[in-house]
Chains A and B, each alone.
Chain A
């Protein structure tokens, strides 16, 4: 439509006579060529985004091919990671990644939902703005600074708290082991702090999408403030909240620096929260620079590929969930 509009334009300074018309035709032709060129340049840039996806998948797959074809499914089932004897299995890292991320969710989800509920249901407008700002600041801190704080503040705190847990709950295997400080627990706590802003802001959006008449109807039925939140507000946009949690999980799974700095980096599967472990991302950060043998590099690339695929899947699912809620909102 827009192109038709400009094709039918009249030159502002068009002079009468054949020469003027000729000039104008030429200018119009030039404009059409420039238009086409600009459109194609912008198209090329848009295609670059898709090329990025292709490059990532292609490079990870081809570089990981040696490890993929050698170990096949056994790669994620074997718990031996031995660069000296060229034997690579990813199980300890899958364990470390999954457990640290799930523990992080366990801490972060209740807190984030609490903050989101506070912001959308309880806080006055005056209080809301500074708290949103603080949560945004929390999101903007570089992960290496979280790691730095983790090493010098959080890890000593975890180390000092361990005797307490052992004294009272020492019969549970999750609290046993020597007090290193660098541990699965430290990683989970730091991940929780890092994903709270993500889950909070997205679930706040989800709660904000709940129409006010729903709340009013609940109050009219005699429900209390909390009963309204629990029975009406939270269930109304469940998929939005689930999407928020999933995006938080996606972030936790791929987080590298902060985790690498506090988890202790030992490829082991241990029941204790206080034992060092290692995640897929922290393994790459630690070993990729020193990997010499092609198989070692290839195994690390395969870990990267797995990480990519898992986070991709989670993000795609979360995206479908949020678009579904959007449609639901339109219908109502």
Chain B
């Protein structure tokens, strides 16, 4: 190899390394700021109290943290059963049908729909008929985002279960639905649970679909039919506010959000892992 080719080779292989470093830079910056700024307003008060009126120091995001839990939990209650059943249809009953192909196609494409669009659709479908912003509307919007993703994850998880296992169940005289629920779904519950957690973590971080559905609330929510505060919307409102006190609380809220979401993820993953080892 002549010198020039050798040199270009060296130089050009440095570029990918450089791009890795540049890509990781923002991640480091975000993590450092999240921890450094986040801990400043993070205390017991922040986790247990309602927001204080403008100008009064202190107060917290207790209502937003609980609100996020309610809205996301409700979205899971709506979305998970539908998505898992749809996944069962795609993997078991309609595997090679045209309908399944169409459902698969749209489930994939729906994942790319901007979340703000889902938000205004949920506004039109739930908020207008109900006559009020509500936790239910927010949950409906998040469920609309969860279902396409989880349908495909469930399907893929079910497809990993070997055919012999199913046939063994059928040979024992089990009706097909018992085989699907008792054997196929059970064997695939690990990857399905991982999918559920990933989906929940994803929707827990969503803000745009909640802006015009769950809205926000400076107090505790009053039932599921009224506006409710969520952590993400509260972070947004506090971040764009002109008050340094609120800006600081936005960082603490962000830290709590990240800890909750990743904490949940790690918890479920380790739980699932220990269960498996127990069984085997």
Contacts and interface: CB of A to CB of B under 8 A. Distances in A.
A43 interface: yes
Interface stretch (B54-62, B105-113, B267-275): B105-113
B156 interface: no
| Most interface-central of A46, A115, A146, A257 (chain B CB within 10 A) | A46
Interface stretch (B39-47, B169-177, B187-195): B169-177
- Which DSSP category, helix, strand, loop or mixed, fits chain A's interface? helix
A42 B92 contact: yes
A111 B26 CA distance: 13
Nearest to B123: A288
Interface stretch (A5-13, A79-87, A266-274): A5-13
B257 interface: yes
Interface string B73-94: 0000000011111101110111
A227 to B, nearest CB: 7
Contacts of A257: 207-208, 236
Contact of A46 (B24, B30, B90, B172): B90
B148 interface: yes
A56 B83 CA distance: 18
Interface in B106-144: 106-121, 123-125, 144
Interface in A131-170: 131, 134-135, 137-138, 140-149, 151-153
A202 interface: no
A5 B164 CA distance: 13
A314 B205 CA distance: 24
Is the interface on chain B under 10, 10 to 19, 20 to 34, or 35 or more residues? 35 or more
Contacts of B1: 222, 224
B254 A11 contact: no
A168 to B, nearest CB: 22
A226 B232 CA distance: 45
A52 interface: yes
Contacts of B173: 6, 9-12
| Most interface-central of B13, B37, B92 (chain A CB within 10 A) | B13
Given A2-B166, A196-B23, A117 B108 contact: no
A232 to B, nearest CB: 14
A152 B108 CA distance: 35
Contacts of B30: 141, 145-146, 149
A307 interface: yes
Interface in A24-72: 31-32, 34-35, 37-39, 41-50, 52-53, 55-56, 59-60, 63
A225 B9 contact: yes
| Most interface-central of A52, A253, A300, A308 (chain B CB within 10 A) | A52
A250 interface: yes
Interface string A99-130: 00000000000111111011001100000000
A46 B94 contact: yes
Given A5-B167, A45-B82, A148 B239 contact: yes
Given A35-B177, A153-B29, A254-B116, A111 B110 contact: no
A59 B121 contact: yes
A37 B93 CA distance: 12
A278 interface: no
B103 interface: yes
Interface string B9-39: 1001101111110111011011001100100
Contacts of A193: 26
Nearest to A143: B207
A137 to B, nearest CB: 6
B254 A114 contact: no
Contacts of A135: 23
A153 B12 CA distance: 31
Contacts of B206: 142-143
B257 A43 contact: no
Contacts of A300: 120
B257 A2 contact: no
B85 A145 contact: no
A35 to B, nearest CB: 5
A224 B89 contact: no
Given A42-B88, A253-B114, A261-B239, A50 B106 contact: yes
Contact of B144 (A52, A151, A229, A316): A52
B159 interface: no
A285 B211 contact: yes
A39 B15 CA distance: 54
A285 B212 CA distance: 9
Contacts of B17: 118, 122
B175 A285 contact: no
The 10 lowest CB-CB distance pairs between A and B, nearest first, are A254-B114, A114-B19, A142-B205, A45-B85, A31-B175, A118-B16, A38-B177, A315-B112, A9-B173, A42-B89
Given A224-B6, A319-B109, 18 more contacts: A6-B175, A38-B176, A45-B85, A46-B89, A46-B90, A48-B147, A52-B148, A59-B125, A114-B20, A115-B19, A131-B24, A142-B206, A144-B239, A147-B239, A151-B239, A230-B12, A301-B120, A315-B108
Interface of B: 1, 5-6, 8-9, 12-13, 15-20, 22-24, 26-27, 29-30, 33-34, 37, 81-86, 88-90, 92-94, 99-100, 102-103, 105-121, 123-125, 144, 147-148, 151, 166-167, 170-177, 179-181, 201-202, 204-208, 211-212, 215, 232, 235-236, 239-240, 247, 250-251, 254, 257-258, 261-262
16 contacts: A10-B173, A34-B177, A49-B147, A56-B117, A59-B121, A59-B124, A111-B23, A122-B16, A138-B26, A140-B201, A140-B202, A143-B205, A144-B239, A152-B247, A230-B12, A307-B117
